[in-house]
Amino acid sequence: MDPYLKKYEKDFKRRYELLQKQLFQLEEAEGGIDLFTRSYRIFGVQRRPDNSLFFKEWAPAAEALFLTGDFNGWDKFSHPYSKTEFGKWELILPPKYDKSPAVDHNTKLKVVVHTKEGQRLYRISPWAKYVTREEKSVIYDWIHWDPPQPYIQIHPRPKKPTSLRIYEAHVGIASPEGKIASYTNFTINVLPRIKDLGYNCIQLMAIMEHAYYASFGYQITSFFAASSRYGTPDELKQMIDVAHSMGILVLLDVVHSHASKNTEDGLNRFDGSDSCFFHSPPRGEHSQWGSRLFNYSSWEVLRFLLSNLRWWMEEYCFDGFRFDGITSMLYHHHGIGKAFFTGDYSEYFGLQVDEDSVVYLMLANHILHTFYPDCITVAEDVSGMPAVCRGVQEGGLGFDYRLAMAIPDKWIQILKELKDEDWDIGNIVYTLTNRRYGEKCIAYAESHDQALVGDKTLAFWLMDKEMYTNMSFLSPMTPIIDRGLQLHKMIRLLTHGLGGEGYLNFMGNEFGHPEWLDFPREGNNHSYHYARRQFNLVDMDHLRYCQLYAFDRDMNRTEDKYGWLAAPPAFVSAKHEEDKVIVFDRANVLFIFNFHHIKSFQDYRVAVELPGKYKIKLDSDEFQYGGHGRLDHNTEFFTEAQPFNGLVLQNVME
Give the model's confidence band at 625: pLDDT under 50 very low, under 70 low, under 90 confident, else very high: very high
Percent of the chain, pLDDT > 70?
Answer: 98
Predicted local confidence at residue 452, as pLDDT: 76
Per-residue pLDDT reduced to its tens digit, 541-599? 999 999 999 999 999 999 999 999 999 999 999 999 999 999 999 999 999 999 999 99
Active site residue 34: no
Specify the amino acid at residue 442. Answer: I
Q: Is the pLDDT of residue 650 over 60?
A: no
Superfamily of domain 39-144: Immunoglobulins (2.60.40.10)
pLDDT per position as a tens digit, 388-410: 999 999 999 999 999 999 999 99
Q: What's the confidence (pLDDT) of residue 652?
A: 46
Q: pTM for the complete prediction?
A: 0.96
Q: What is the Cα–Cα distance from 358 to 386, expressed in whole angstroms?
A: 12
pLDDT at residue number 412: 93
Residue 449, pLDDT score: 84
Distance CA 216, CA 213 (A): 6
Helix (H) / strand (E) element for 529: namely none
Residue 455 has φ and ψ, to the nearest 5°, of -130, -170
74-106 pLDDT, tens per residue?
Answer: 999 999 999 999 999 999 999 999 999 999 999
Q: Give the span between the Cα atoms of 636 and 616, in whole angstroms.
A: 8
Instruction: Answer yes or no: is pLDDT of 119 > 50.
Output: yes
pLDDT at 210 over 50: yes
- For residue 654, pLDDT beyond 50: no
| Distance separating alpha carbons of residues 398 and 362, to the nearest angstrom | 6
The residues near 349 (Cβ < 8 Å, ≥ 6 apart) are: 8, 11
Best CA proximity match to 567, nearest among 515, 609, 618? 609
Q: Of residues 324, 400, 446, 518, which has the active-site annotation?
A: 324
Residues 169-183 as b/e (b if ≥16 CB within 10 A, e otherwise) read bbbbbbbeeeebbbb
Exposure on the CB side of residue 629, measured as CA atoms within 13 A: 2
What's the pLDDT score for residue 609?
Answer: 86
133-189: pLDDT as tens digits: 998 888 999 999 999 999 999 999 999 999 999 999 999 999 999 999 999 999 999
Q: What is the mean pLDDT of residues 284-293?
A: 94
pLDDT of residue 573: 93
For residue 453, pLDDT over 80 is answered with: no
| Range 292-317 average pLDDT | 98
Q: Residues, the chain, total?
A: 654
In the set 380, 439, 552, 554, the catalytic residue is 380
Nearest to 484 by CA among 466, 463, 470: 463
| Chain segment 459-491, per-residue pLDDT in tens | 999 999 999 999 999 999 999 999 999 999 999
Q: What is the pLDDT of residue 516?
A: 87
Nearest-5° Cα angle at 311, 166 to 164:
15
Parts of the chain belonging to CATH 2.60.40.10: 39-144
Mean of pLDDT over the chain: 94
Q: Which residues of the chain are in CATH 2.60.40.1180 domains?
A: 571-638
Taking the C-alpha atoms of residue 468 and residue 485, their distance in angstroms, rounded to an integer, is: 14
Question: Could you say which of 1.20.950.20, 2.60.40.1180, 2.120.10.10, 1.10.600.10 is the CATH number of the domain covering 571-638?
Answer: 2.60.40.1180
pLDDT over 90 at 29, yes or no: no
> How many Cβ atoms from other residues are within 10 Å of residue 36's Cβ?
21
Catalytic residue flag (residue 9): no
